[in-house]
Amino acid sequence: MQTQVGIVGAGPAGLMLAHLLHLRGIESVVLDTRTREEIEGTIRAGILEQNTVDLMADSGIGDRVKQVGSVHHGIELRFDGRGHRIDFEELTGRAVTVYPQHEVLKDLIEQRLSDGGEIRFGVSDVRVEDITGDTPTIRFTDNDGTEEVLHCALVGGCDGSRTQTRPLIPSPDVRQDHFRQYPFAWFGILVEAPPSSEELIYAHHENGFALISTRSPEVQRLYLQVDPEDSVDNWSDDRIWNELHTRVAGDDVELKEGPIFQKSILPFRSFVCEPMQHGRLFLAGDAAHTVPPTGAKGMNLAIADVYILARAMGEFFESGETTALDSYTATALPRVWRAQHFSWWMTSMLHRMPQSSGFDLKRQTAELDTVTRSRAGRTLLAENYVGTPLY
């Protein structure tokens, strides 16, 4: 098999990269160990920055997100029993759109297949070789058991946080891994109920953080801060609702209860790989970095990565020029680190740290009060939440 770009991973990064390359007339093959049903059935959060929505629309896959996505013009920071709205529209003239990740993937897969592009679902034994030569190869077993070899000029490592492509960058001689594990996790539930709020509520409380989020008019996503060693078995439905009511207390908000049909615990960590490239291999999305979900940056960072990467690959195939490819890491990383800082800031400001004292809780409340009182503080938060330029 021959193609111009071999892409490992059919998540948001891999599929969007393939789509943007197709628009430039560049051929690619996308490989993933999961089936199409598994990819489209993995329920993930989806808060899309304005830049992401604009790119989807400009590249021809924005119809559904415009039709059914829920545009949010602000969020609420809640502390001391009161809500404080951050008005994105007033402060930035921009907004975010709630549109789950699996819906983005459905849009990308449908467009890819309608364009005649190739996605190999359900492959196994994927091995990327010769990334420092001119013609890398990707060996894999197709879903019918056939051994295949894909020859390409460039490789996109877009295979998520459990990546097999990142280790191909030698460590520590070339690769430096920056890692932070947070001392708490999110206990998440999916509930059949109408929305409790028109916009997301980020609540700070002495018992810990809580988030009131949404998936659709009928299904809501709610989170509680818990110990990372906690178990879903420790949380009855009654205990969940009691704790949510406690942490999001106030006369101005009414939590809508309903049947809980999914419970899970999400660990918190930050990670950045430097560099994001080696030879003919280029990492994007969670294969290169992960962020805590507090700032809603994960999928948006993946889209920003491949926007930069597709332009660089386009220059390479159109003219043979390698300047943009060579500087891919230097171009992408500043935005990655800004997102890391924003996610860390939101996380540290809103969550109760282990062994927090009364001083620590009062200091966090003062920080939240400073941010919400100050137009400059609200603007800083809003600008980062709705998304900084792609690069």
pLDDT of residue 250: 84
The number of residues making up the chain comes to 391
Asked if residue 275 has a cis previous peptide bond (ω within 30° of 0), the answer is yes
Active-site residue, selected from the candidate residues 297, 307, 328, 351: 297
Given the residues 99, 202, 223, 328, select the one marked as catalytic. Answer: 202
The tokens describing 112, both together, are 């890819």
182 is known as an active-site residue: no
Would you say the CATH fold of 182-268+352-386 matches that of 5-72+98-178+270-345? no
Give the mean pLDDT per block of 10 residues along the chain (391 residues): 98 98 98 97 87 97 95 97 96 96 96 97 98 97 97 98 96 96 96 95 97 91 96 97 94 93 94 98 98 94 98 97 98 97 97 92 97 98 94 77
Is-catalytic flag, 385? yes
99 is catalytic: no
Strand order in 47-48's β-sheet?
A: 47-48, 96-98, 70-72
Q: What distance in Å separates the CA atoms of residue 220 and residue 200, rounded to the nearest whole number? A: 11
Per-residue confidence (pLDDT) for residue 249, from 0 to 100: 83
Distance of CA 256 to the CA centre of its chain: 27
Distance CA 344, CA 269 (A): 10
Distance (Å, whole) CA 368 – CA 72:
21
pLDDT at 252: 87
Of 130, 117, 131, 104, nearest to 48 by C-alpha is 104
Give the C-alpha separation, 13 to 32, whole Å. 12
| Choices 3.40.470.10, 3.30.9.10, 3.30.1370.160, 3.30.300.30: CATH for 182-268+352-386 | 3.30.9.10
CA distance 219 to 174: 45
The domain segmentation of the chain, as residue ranges, is 5-72+98-178+270-345, 182-268+352-386
Structure tokens at 184: 């708490």
Question: Which position among 99, 223, 307, 385 bears the catalytic label?
Answer: 385
List Cα–Cα distances, 367 to 100, 263, 272, in angstroms.
31, 32, 27
130, burial (CB in 10 Å: exposed 0-12, middle 13-18, buried 19+): middle
Residue 275 annotated to the active site: no
DSSP states along 305-333: HHHHHHHHHHHHHHH---HHHHTHHHHHH
At residue 45, the pLDDT reads: 73
Give start and end residues of each alpha helix (H) in 154-297.
Answer: 237-247
Instruction: Tell which CATH architecture fits domain 5-72+98-178+270-345.
Output: 3-Layer(bba) Sandwich (3.50)
Catalytic residue among 72, 204, 205, 289: 72
Do residues 271 and 289 touch, judged by C-beta distance below 8 A? yes
Query: Closest by alpha carbon to 283, among 275, 293, 291, 294?
Result: 275
Given 100, 293, 307, 328, the catalytic residue? 293
| CA-based radius of gyration for the chain | 22
Clarify whether 245 is annotated catalytic: no
| Cα 239 from Cα 243, distance rounded (Å) | 6
Q: What is the pLDDT of residue 43?
A: 75
**In DSSP terms, which residues pair with 31 in a beta bridge?**
8, 120
